[in-house]
Amino acid sequence: MIAIGSDHGGYALKQEIMAHLDKRGLAYRDYGTYSEASCDYPVYAKAVAKAVAGGECERGILICGTGIGVSITANKQPGIRCALCGDCFSAQATREHNDANVLALGARVVGPGLALMIVDTFLDTPFSNDQRHVRRISQIEG
Ligand code: RB5
């Protein structure tokens, strides 16, 4: 299960991503926001981060205007490794090296075509499980 959420700035891109997940047959839960009315990104970033940290969902996708606010917020939750990606190389590397469990996107930064490629890369790339990466991840918290 994928947790997805956005503020108003990411709402339109979130709709495109959910349609894409539907096409791929991937299950997701939409944690809001549910319209383009102005709202506060921490509300939705926290909901998605808690769903992933609590084990309700395996991965999360967060979208706001820049991707910055949601990524800062998500990374405050213990157990969350949220990566703000604007390219596929970063999305692949953060899965392989950081075992990132939440992807943040900036809807005012990347176009929908690139965003969907980043989403696919993030969802389809496994963690490398290399010992050095396992060790470094274990050093992130605490
Ligand atoms: C909303 O205008 C904007 O501040 C928000 O979407 C996000 O970019 C914050 O980091």
How far apart are the CA of 70 and the centre of ligand 1, in A? 8
Q: Which of 57, 64, 82, 85 is catalytic?
A: 64
Domain count, the chain: 1
The domain that holds 73 is classified in CATH as 3.40.1400.10
The pTM of this model reads 0.98
Alpha carbon 55 to chain centroid distance?
A: 15
Quote the percentage of the chain above a pLDDT of 90.
99
> Known catalytic residue: 20?
no
How far apart are the CA of 65 and the centre of ligand 1, in A? 5
Average pLDDT over residues 94-121: 98
Q: Which residues of 35-61 are buried (b: 16+ CB within 10 A; e: fewer)?
A: eeeebebbebbbbbbbbbbeeebebbb
Q: Which of 20, 39, 97, 133 is catalytic?
A: 97
Dump pLDDT digits (tens) for 19-36. 999 999 999 999 999 999
Tokens representing residue 14 in the block:
């979130």
Average pLDDT over residues 35-41: 98
Residue 130 belongs to domain spanning? 2-141
